[in-house]
A and B are shown apart, each in its own frame.
Chain A
């Protein structure tokens, strides 16, 4: 009986330790504080460059930016570092008029990964 109790207690301890394994998902720190799409619209049929300003240093080699088209079709875009720290420059291909989004996954210098979306419209 005592042995069974000990086994139960050990099992319980393992379950409790297992139950420790939880937490919230990371929201992260590389937040876009400003972006060029706010000020200038994208015109149809012309390649352009979008500038994203982040609140902290970012590791571009470990970051990804996607162009999202209608139907949530994603296409990887090339990203280069701006002159100032925390700035990413995204090369946008020529687009037809319509609704699009930039879906980015950014690795911040503090080790957190930010995933977010910026919606924009391409004017005819």
Chain B
């Protein structure tokens, strides 16, 4: 049970940040963009719809945040109970985590209740919007005691403040994007006139830039405090996830720039095409990226800062060696050889690395790489009219799924002694592998059906990029646990970059389905290229001997 509790404790962090963004981003949207009190004496149907929608997102987000915060406390208790093998009270009741968590839970409930029962009925009252902002402010401050910086000795208050500013800035941007997605839905459903869409984009543009500046200005000193060398940036899990955060931020900013360019073009030439036929889909893709960014941020919070583990930092050479091209391993050690080395590998006293375990894992990844590379090549060829049979390339996922199911975890069914369900409940890593296997089967089955359907209105093709994005998210937060932080990191780094490419593949495919030419073709090529890159990482994958 410890594995599952630990696993859920981590996932809930990402969901918490999504709810937080809905609340804080929604309130800032209402206070600075919507400003309903300015229309108090000249309300029209559109203002009412927009205001109701914004308030609905805020209280739904706040209620969800309260539930998530409650679950976080329960999970922490469960985790403590699993690890300590005893009820963690009364000691847990006096921890900062518990007290801060209860405060935040109470304030989230207070905010949700206030917005639902007071602000919803006084939507045009400036005073009530500011009252909501005051309660939210208190909730934001209470959250400062739950961040990583709260436990540190140096620059504690400064780091807590910077973390809070960083979170609020991110929430303003991401929550604003959620508001834009909801406004686009209203526009598409013809509930509000078309003119409100470019106007909302234009008004959010400046706020978005301020939020991004806030993210960078608060994030930079924190990064410099937690990572003090290039090696720490390249050779630790903390630095590696921070690098991924930078890359995700760059992709999201790229979409933001495309949106801004389209809005400026609309303002100068009244050309509607890009604003209505491209920007909504850029924003959808940006949402994919930003949600991944939130989960990556939650994952970063579970890593020890690079400054604290100088002796466990990998060198540039070791990191590059993880990606070095080589002949893939196509022969596996026997299951008996693997089991023979397990006792020594997992021992605390007299631990001996297992060459068989490393070769077993390398073989699994390399064979998976062959599957993926062949599929990616067929996927690219499927665009040629003379090779229509290659459109069945998703069949490869079914084969890959079977391979992963049989090979991923040697200690469990069908190879080992642990039962299928027992192993999933006991070990978070096996649980993740099983979910990955389910994803692979779903990817293959659904995408195959999507490519065989003749219905142009079918929604099936959109499932593939969504599943890819989830797969990417999974890889970005996947970690192999062990007592050797450096070996774990060298295993993790390949998974992290595959996660990034899976996300690029997802948004590329999404935009290929949504955009017109030439964007459609560019996005399709990028998606195929990212798929091919995942295949290459897997084909050349090699683990350190541990």
Interface residues, chain A, with chain B CB atoms under 8 Å away: 9, 12, 15-16, 18-31, 33, 55-59, 61-62, 64, 68-72, 85-86, 99-101, 103, 105, 107-117, 119
**How many angstroms from the CA of A96 to the CA of B460 in the assembled complex?**
67
User: Which of B10, B88, B147 has the largest number of chain A CB atoms within 10 A?
Assistant: B10
CB distance B79 to A113 under 8 Å? yes
CB distance A23 to B349 under 8 Å? no
CB distance A27 to B479 under 8 Å? yes
Given contacts A16-B466, A19-B435, A107-B80, contact A31 B11 (CB under 8 A): no
Given contacts A21-B11, A25-B481, A109-B151, contact A117 B91 (CB under 8 A): no
Smallest CB separation, A120 vs chain B (Å): 11
Q: Which residues of A contact B295 (CB under 8 A)?
A: 23
CB distance B435 to A72 under 8 Å? no
CB distance A25 to B428 under 8 Å? yes
Q: Which residues of A contact B3 (CB under 8 A)?
A: 25
User: Which of A25, A71, A103, A107 has the largest number of chain B CB atoms within 10 A?
Assistant: A25
B439 at the binding interface (Cβ < 8 Å): yes
Q: Which residues of B contact A61 (CB under 8 A)?
A: 91, 94
Q: Which residues of B contact A105 (CB under 8 A)?
A: 83-84
Cβ contacts A to B, 14 pairs, < 8 Å: A18-B435, A18-B438, A23-B299, A25-B428, A25-B481, A27-B481, A31-B308, A31-B309, A62-B91, A101-B349, A107-B80, A107-B95, A115-B483, A117-B348
Q: Which residues of B contact A99 (CB under 8 A)?
A: 349-350
Given contacts A15-B438, A16-B467, A116-B483, contact A28 B302 (CB under 8 A): yes
Given contacts A70-B350, A99-B350, contact A19 B80 (CB under 8 A): no
A-B pairs under 8 A by CB, number: 162
Q: Which residues of B contact A29 (CB under 8 A)?
A: 148, 151, 304-305, 308
Q: Which residues of B contact A12 (CB under 8 A)?
A: 446, 463
B104 at the binding interface (Cβ < 8 Å): no
Smallest CB separation, A102 vs chain B (Å): 10
**How many angstroms from the CA of A18 to the CA of B437 in the assembled complex?**
13
Smallest CB separation, B65 vs chain A (Å): 17
**How many angstroms from the CA of A68 to the CA of B488 in the assembled complex?**
22
Question: B237 — nearest CB in chain A belongs to which residue?
Answer: A27
CB distance A57 to B88 under 8 Å? no
Chain B 55-94, CB-CB to A under 8 Å as 1, else 0, gives 0000000000000000000001001100110001001101
CB distance B348 to A64 under 8 Å? no
CB distance B8 to A21 under 8 Å? yes
Given contacts A56-B151, A64-B84, A110-B148, contact A24 B302 (CB under 8 A): yes
Q: Which of B401-454 contact A (CB under 8 A)?
A: 428-429, 431-432, 435-436, 438-439, 442, 446
Given contacts A27-B303, A72-B348, contact A55 B470 (CB under 8 A): no
CB distance A22 to B80 under 8 Å? no
Q: Which residues of A contact B432 (CB under 8 A)?
A: 22-24
Smallest CB separation, A19 vs chain B (Å): 5
Interface residue from B11, B303, B304 paired with A20 (Cβ < 8 Å): B11
Q: Which of B463-500 contact A (CB under 8 A)?
A: 463, 466-467, 470, 473-474, 477-479, 481, 483, 485, 488, 492
Closest 4 CB pairs between A and B?
A109-B151, A61-B91, A24-B479, A56-B151
Given contacts A112-B302, A113-B83, contact A33 B308 (CB under 8 A): yes
Question: A105 — nearest CB in chain B belongs to which residue?
Answer: B83
**How many angstroms from the CA of A12 to the CA of B92 in the assembled complex?**
39
**How many angstroms from the CA of A71 to the CA of B76 in the assembled complex?**
31
CB distance A16 to B470 under 8 Å? yes
CB distance A62 to B95 under 8 Å? yes
Q: Which residues of B contact A116 (CB under 8 A)?
A: 483
Given contacts A24-B10, A27-B479, contact A100 B349 (CB under 8 A): yes
Smallest CB separation, B462 vs chain A (Å): 11
CB distance A62 to B303 under 8 Å? no
B9 at the binding interface (Cβ < 8 Å): yes
CB distance A68 to B349 under 8 Å? yes
B153 at the binding interface (Cβ < 8 Å): yes
Question: A85 — nearest CB in chain B belongs to which residue?
Answer: B153
CB distance B467 to A24 under 8 Å? no
Q: Which residues of B contact A70 (CB under 8 A)?
A: 349-350
Smallest CB separation, A116 vs chain B (Å): 6
Interface residue from B7, B97, B466 paired with A22 (Cβ < 8 Å): B7
**How many angstroms from the CA of A14 to the CA of B302 in the assembled complex?**
28
Question: B149 — nearest CB in chain A belongs to which residue?
Answer: A110
CB distance B478 to A22 under 8 Å? yes
Question: B100 — nearest CB in chain A belongs to which residue?
Answer: A111
Q: Which residues of B contact A101 (CB under 8 A)?
A: 348-349
CB distance B474 to A22 under 8 Å? yes
CB distance B88 to A62 under 8 Å? yes
B190 at the binding interface (Cβ < 8 Å): no
Smallest CB separation, A71 vs chain B (Å): 7
**How many angstroms from the CA of A103 to the CA of B463 in the assembled complex?**
45
Q: Which residues of A contact B83 (CB under 8 A)?
A: 64, 105, 113, 115
Q: Which residues of A contact B470 (CB under 8 A)?
A: 16, 19-20
Q: Which residues of B contact A19 (CB under 8 A)?
A: 435, 438-439, 442, 467, 470, 474
Given contacts A19-B470, A22-B11, contact A110 B79 (CB under 8 A): no
**How many angstroms from the CA of A30 to the CA of B152 in the assembled complex?**
9
B232 at the binding interface (Cβ < 8 Å): no
Question: B485 — nearest CB in chain A belongs to which residue?
Answer: A27
Question: B79 — nearest CB in chain A belongs to which residue?
Answer: A113
Interface residue from B9, B146, B467, B478 paired with A26 (Cβ < 8 Å): B9
Q: Which residues of A contact B436 (CB under 8 A)?
A: 22
